[in-house]
Amino acid sequence: MSKPSIVYDMFSSPMGTLYLIFSGRSLAGISFSKPGRTAYRKNSAPKTFTKELLDYFQGADKGFTQKIIFLEGTDFEKKVWSSLNDIPFGETRTYKWVADKIGNPAASRAAGQALSKNPIPIVLPCHRVIESDGSIGGYSSGVNIKRKLLDLEYYSKMDKK
């Protein structure tokens, strides 16, 4: 069986252009910068997924149903990334919470390092992880984008109350 080709599509978001990377029918990445690999070819993302992204950026807290795949990452990193699905829309958790969630309470710093490599931000919401003291912490695509994503979710949730 041949390996699925890697393709990408562009999605215009309030945070700027997102590059949606697919392996076969599975989402393998979301990037804020154009994929550097020339082997990637341009193709259309599934309409169901782009609709979910549109809904998300309009404040819907329905979550994502798009199948994902990790093309890289250690078992530890994959556990950390998968734990992010348990953080509700409009809420935050700490790096310590992530470490506890994966059963490794002493690994807060390592969890933070794994989060910085999250290949599928937004869908796997690493932007919802903050420091224990309440400060925003880092974000691989920049703290300003993290702050905008948190604001979008927070104010969308407040609007619904």
Q: Which residues are catalytic?
A: 126
3-state secondary structure at position 112: helix
Distance CA 75, CA 134 (A): 28
**3-class SS shares of the chain: helix, strand, coil, % to 5:** 35, 20, 45
Judge whether 143 and 135 are in contact, CB under 8 Å.
Answer: no
Tally of residues, the chain: 161
